[in-house]
Amino acid sequence: MGVNFLGAGFMAPGHMGKGVDILSISGDHDLTRTIGDSRLDIPESRLRRLDFISKLLIGATKLCLDDADFSAWNVDLSRFGAVVGTAHGSIDVLLDFDASIYDGNISAIKFPNTVVSQSTGHICMEFGFQGPSATFCSGGVSGFQAAMYAATLIQEGHADVMLVGGADVLIQTVEQLEGVIPSEMLPLSEGGVALILASDEFVVENNCTSYARLTSSGQTFSTGGNKESSIVGWWDSVLGRVGTEGSYDYVATSFTSRKRLAAMLKRSPATFHCLDERLGNMRAGSALLSLVDAALSVRRASVMGFPLRGTSAYCDVTGYNAFVTFDDPS
Amino acid sequence: MKHKVLVTGMGTINSLGLGVSEFWDSLDKGASGITLSSTSQLDGYTVVGSSAAVDWTRIPERFQKMDRALSASLMAAEEAVEDSKVDRDSLRKAGVVVGTSLGPIDTLRETHRHLNQSQLLSTPDVCNAVLDNIGRSVAQYFESEGPNATLTTACAASSNALSYAHSLVASGVCETVLCGGVDVISPITIAGFHALRTLSSDYCRPFSRTRRGISLGEGAAFLVLESEESAIARGRHHYAVFSGYGLGNEAYHSTKPDPSGKVAARVMRSALLMAGMELEDVKYINAHGTGTLFNDAMETKAIKEVFGASSYGISVSSTKSMHGHTLGAAGAIEAVASILSLVHQTVPPTLGFQERDPECDLDYCFEGSVKRDVPAAMSNSFAFGGHIVSLIFERGVIWG
């Protein structure tokens, strides 16, 4: 069963966008940690129960559903699921809650949001999705894993449509780390990304426009961490699995390291794109954004009349490696 | 090509014992790991409650200086790997999938304290404190370079992890996956569940009219999932066939279950459908059975909706009444309990019964463990955020 990419949304402090417009978002991140709650159009009683990461994901999901023309669909919400990937989730809420134990000021409202998967639950409640739901928390690669698992759930018949989210927020522990990691690292930032995957049958029944079709994916883990040499080795294996060199055209990546990005660039004749250079690294959000980048680039090329294969590749210092490839649906 | 998924190894550590053998002895006897604590001092915050703690003094020395969640995970994973007798080469290609709600919470709290004291953190400090450290560390311990994932779906986390691991094996991405879950009791969970008024000051009494809430537990469980082809090729027996799972979300409330039980029923049905099973095949349900007023009534209603009249012929039990609610580890620990019920053809009991609740009128094995024919068992997990997972295991083939 084929899996189609139907839409994308992005929300970050200072930036928001949907569909191919996401590719042209530029400029520094606004780190004031405000997205303008009125944009979310959620009643105040519900809004005050949401942590920041859930707000980003709900905002991105609204944009994504709008991009995919959700209102025109005839959809059974029990067949519409949600999988989210986040490197740290609401760890800031957890640590705040931990601190509140010391002063005896414990909040029954805050506690549920200490659970990382609560943002997936908030999305399901907000939009009524009753299909499969899950949350990955495997560092930056979580965004990829969320998308790959969502595709599998569609292929196995557990769902017709899946919302895939990826988000991370700046937290003190990670910000602190910036002070001790080498200057070659890309700046950290925060934001939420959402995309929609659907089965071939759903696309036909609802007359949807498929931006791209997911054609292959893979993941491994390097137990010794990813050094430059292992990244080149991983990249070679990706090339081997998606086809011979030259049969892919466009590679979108997310990297925390300029050095590692350069190592891959040297190895590859394809057009390379890394939105992190413009938007900062949003961990799982950036990983998923690179996937959006690859799929939307396939769409953009298709509209301009030439077929493109788009690959999104990820590997990080802790050892996670993953790739997803999209083809023109036509 | 779809591959049949077998369970060829198991390991666990929880309040009922270290290892599968001790765990089953306690379940079979109806022994409780829960103790009443009149006061629990949490940095000045006092809670009256019950809990089921691991006897950490019995942990082998080589695991003692680690983060508790990590040491429990490595112990359970090592037992599962040794039990499965999977070879080194297969282990190197194996995936590792972990479900947890809080991961290495002791290390995270310690790291945050250092940060508040303005101590500089190193990259390893931060890497050791984050949720996925368990999955990465288990992979490093066994040198497993297959897909590595951490799922954190609250109290359904490790059931979700098992489902994901199933898909990796069934789809042929991996021949072998080491999967499981872990969580340890922490001041955060004690304070949080106390604030939600779901922590029982008494023993946990699932399905009893006098139930007042959960008893927190802790522990880890790991299973080796393997394709049928791989197990046959190396001549290995299997404890169970992991034949199906169902997933869904209630989209109802952050912490309360939907009293209608409609989504829970749909998820159980989809697990049965995936397993290709008739209603009569399931003779045991390891219930989520938290001992809260809302959960147990809803779960009973959902079981009755799915199984109809035959629900009264099914043995249902909540092993949480013995090992407590182990949060993110619950799905994996209860999967091991379910598989052991298939292996021993015995259903473990539900402890703590006081009075019948008219809303909970199934056979909950209140009198003790029950010997019966159990061809297949279902294990349910429900979580904050509305996540619901049902797993189905069929009796395997064990040699000698």
The per-residue pLDDT for range A108-160, each reduced to its tens digit, is 888 999 999 999 999 999 999 999 999 999 999 999 999 999 999 999 999 99
| pLDDT of B349 strictly over 80 | yes
**Which residues of chain B from 370 to 389 reach within 8 Å of chain A, CB to CB?**
383-387
Distance from CA of A45 to the nearest CA of B (A): 13
A313: part of which helix (H) or strand (E)? strand A310-315
**Rounded Cα–Cα distance for residues B49 and B38 (Å):** 6
* Of the candidate ranges B42-51, B137-146, B276-285, B298-307, the one whose mean pLDDT is the lowest: B42-51
Q: What is the pLDDT of residues B136-179, one digit of tens each?
A: 999 999 999 999 999 999 999 999 999 999 999 999 999 999 99
Q: What is the pLDDT of residues A169-198, one digit of tens each?
A: 887 666 555 455 555 667 788 899 999 999
Nearest chain B residue to A105, by CA? B45
Whether B368 and B350 have beta carbons less than 8 Å apart is answered as no
**Residues of chain B by 3-state class (helix, strand, coil), percent to 5:** 40, 25, 30
Which pair of structure tokens corresponds to residue B92? 């190197």
Kindly tell me the sign of the dihedral angle through the C-alpha atoms of A112, A117, A119, A120: negative
Question: Do the domains spanning A3-205 and A212-327 agree at the CATH topology level?
Answer: yes
Q: Tell me which fold the domain A212-327 belongs to.
A: Peroxisomal Thiolase; Chain A, domain 1 (3.40.47)
**Rounded Cα–Cα distance for residues B205 and B318 (Å):** 9
Residue B155 vs residues A107, A128, A236, A326, B158: alpha-carbon distances, Å: 20, 21, 39, 34, 8
Q: What are the residue ranges of helices labelled H in A268-312?
A: 276-279, 284-303
Whether B14 and B52 have beta carbons less than 8 Å apart is answered as yes
Higher pLDDT, B216 or B399: B216
Burial class (CB in 10 A: 0-12, 13-18, 19+), A277: middle
Q: Which residues of B touch A135 (CB under 8 A)?
A: 151-153
Spell out the domains of chain B, with CATH numbers in brackets: 5-397 (3.40.47.10)
| pLDDT of B230 strictly over 50 | yes
For A122, the 3-state DSSP assignment is helix
Instruction: Work out how many CB contacts closer than 8 A connect A with B.
Output: 215
Mutation for A interface: B45, B126, B153, B177, most A CBs within 10 A: B153
For B36, the 3-state DSSP assignment is strand
Contact A173 B112 (CB under 8 A): yes
ipTM summary value? 0.96
Residue B116 vs residues A95, A154, A291, B111, B187: alpha-carbon distances, Å: 11, 45, 36, 9, 18
Q: How is chain A split into domains, by residue range?
A: 3-205, 212-327
CB nearest A101 (choices: B170, B191, B247):
B191
Q: Once rounded to an integer, what is the mean pLDDT over residues B347-356?
A: 97
Q: What is the 3-state secondary structure (H, E, C) of A188-214?
A: ECCEEEEEEEEEHHHHHHCCCCCCEEE
Q: Which residues of A touch B41 (CB under 8 A)?
A: none
pTM, to two decimals: 0.96
Whether B83 and B396 have beta carbons less than 8 Å apart is answered as no
CATH annotation of A3-205:
3.40.47.10
What is the DSSP code (8-state) at residue B170?
H
